[in-house]
Amino acid sequence: MRSPGTRTWCGPRLLRLAPLPVLCGCEGRHSWLAGAGAEARAIESLFWPFLIGSAIVWTAVMAFAVFAYRSAASDKGERVGRAVILWGGAVVPTIVVAMLLLTGLLTLRALSARSPALTVQVDGEQWWWRVAYRVPGQAEVVTANEIRLPRGETAELLLTSDDVIHSLWAPALGGKMDMVPGRTNRLTLTPLTIGSWGGLCAEYCGAAHAQMRFEVVVTEPEAFRDWLADEAMPAAPEALSEGGGLDAFLDAGCGACHTIRGTEADGPVGPDLTHVGGRGRIGAGLVPLTAANLSRWISHTDDVKPGVRMPAYPDLAPEALDRLVAFLMALK
């Protein structure tokens, strides 16, 4: 196994020449080849041999086709032709696909061999992600659309859904796994590179499927544990006491859907907002969390994300909206 580190992993050593990182999009937060996780790297180690091997096979077949077309007919032809079928059509492909099969099975076994140090429950909703950490001896932490994971530790994601089938996919870290109503699926991820990686829903899940994204934030283990302890706390007292933001929140009826722990808002429908100000993005990974974006999200939700379940509040008085936004931003 390659040592974990913060360097960007990209391509086989041989090919790691200048233009390649641009070409393969290694810097992409959603790329399979970003190599931010052990699982992604295991799959990447299949990708390059497959790519090169296919290129060779394809070129060989095409070259043979051109040769066959150009060559003159001869009496011996049919005997040669049968040999071509036997060796080129049957024997060689059988060996190649047998090797592919074994490689795939062994990689699959290796992928499921890690034992997890951390369990995270992720529940797919139309069209966002409910994330829950249940660490023994600590209050349950519920957040949304952002999965924090410690670097170098294997996490097991328990994937569920109550509405339709979703599929959780953070390509930079590893493969995807579906969330099927009535079942609990498991996906292990072992992040290796610190950073914020993109994730999205890979299974068509209805109207707003395209805009169901999330973030995977990989931090050092200590930072992760600090964050988890902070998240377990109720909402920041200074936010609750300041400027009537909580009143604006409750007056607008937000508490019917959203929970802010430590207040009377305990709606179970939408994302938990207890520490929403600490998240990087809103709208299920859609736009960065800024006051302007948040304000637009609340007042014109459906413009930012067509199909979204949250109703828009276009008639909210400007000052109430400002208070609300400031309040939410302060919920670190």
Partner 1 sequence: MTGLPDIGPAPPDDAARDRAERDDLLAAWETPSGFRRLSAVNNSLIGRWYLGTAFGFFLFAGVLALMIRTQLAVPDNSFLSMELYNQVFTLHGTAMMFLFAIPIFEAVAILILPEMLGARDLPFPRLSAFGFWCFVIGGTFVCGSIFFGAAPNGGWFMYAPLSSDTDQTGIGTDIWLLGLSFIEVASIAAAIELIVGVLKCRPPGMRINLMPLYCWYVLVVAGMILFAFPPLIAGDLLLEMERAFDWAFFDADRGGDPLLWQHLFWIFGHPEVYIIFLPSIALIATMLPALARTRIVGHSWIVLSAIGVAFLSFGLWVHHMFTTGLPNISLGFFSAASEAVAIPTGIQIFCLLATVLVGRATASVPLLFAGGALAIFVFGGLTGVMVAVVPFDFQAHDSHFVVAHLHYTLIGGMLFPIFAAVYYWHPFVTGRMLSPRLGRWAFWLIFAGFNITFLPMHWTGVLGMPRRVWTYAEEMGWGALNMTSTIGAYILATGVAIMVFDVVRPRRFKAPAGVDPWKAPTLEWLREGPGHPWGIRSVPVITTRYPLWQQPGLFEEVTRGKWFLADASGGHREMIVTDILDARPMFVQRVPGPGWVTILSAAFLGAVFILATWHLWTAAVLCGGGFLATVLWWLWTGTGGVPPTPERDCGRGLILPLYASGNGSVGWWAMFITMIGDTTAFAGLVFAYAFFWTVHPAFPPPGSEPPGLPTAALAALSLSVAWLLMTVAQGANRAGRGSLSRWALAIVPLAAAAGVASLVLAAGAVGLDPTRHAYDATVWVLILWIGVHVAVGVIMDLYCLARLMAGRMDASHDAELRNSVLYWNFLLVQALVTIAVIGLFPLVSGGIR
Partner 2 sequence: MTYPRIIDDGSVWIVIMPPVIWAGHFLAAYWIAAVWCARGMGVLAPAAWAILALTLIALAAIGWIARIATVRYEGLLRHEASIADDRERSRERFLGHVALLLCALNAVAVIFTAAPSLVFGQC
Residues 103-162 that bind partner 2 (CB under 8 A): 105-106, 108-109, 112
Q: Which SS3 state, helix, strand or coil, does residue 73 take?
A: coil
> Does position 54 bind partner 2 by CB under 8 A?
no
Q: Tell me whether residue 67 or residue 222 sits nearer to partner 1 (CB atom).
A: 67
Q: 176 vs 28, 53, 188, 200, CA distance in Å?
A: 17, 25, 10, 9
Q: How far is the CB of 103 from partner 2 (least distance, A)?
A: 11
* Residue range at the interface with partner 1 (CB under 8 A); choices 86-94, 269-277, 292-300, 324-332: 86-94
Q: Which SS3 state, helix, strand or coil, does residue 262 take?
A: coil
> Does position 169 bind partner 1 by CB under 8 A?
yes
- Binding positions for partner 1, 170-189, rule CB under 8 A: 171-172, 174-178, 180-183, 185-186
Q: Tell me whether residue 137 or residue 182 sits nearer to partner 1 (CB atom).
A: 182
- Binding positions for partner 1, 271-300, rule CB under 8 A: 286
Q: Which runs of E-coded beta strand occur in the chain?
A: 118-125, 128-133, 141-144, 146-150, 155-161, 166-169, 176-179, 185-189, 195-201, 213-219, 281-282, 287-288
- Binding positions for partner 1, 219-278, rule CB under 8 A: none
Q: How far is the CB of 251 from partner 1 (least distance, A)?
A: 30
Strands 146-150 and 213-219: parallel
Q: How far is the CB of 94 from partner 2 (least distance, A)?
A: 6
Q: Tell me whether residue 19 or residue 136 sits nearer to partner 1 (CB atom).
A: 19
Are 289 and 330 in contact, with CB atoms under 8 Å apart? no
Q: Which SS3 state, helix, strand or coil, does residue 326 take?
A: helix
What pairs with residue 149 in β-bridges? 218
Peptide bond into 48 cis (omega under 30): no
The residues that touch partner 2, with contacts defined as CB under 8 A, are 79, 82, 90, 94, 98, 101-102, 105-106, 108-109, 112
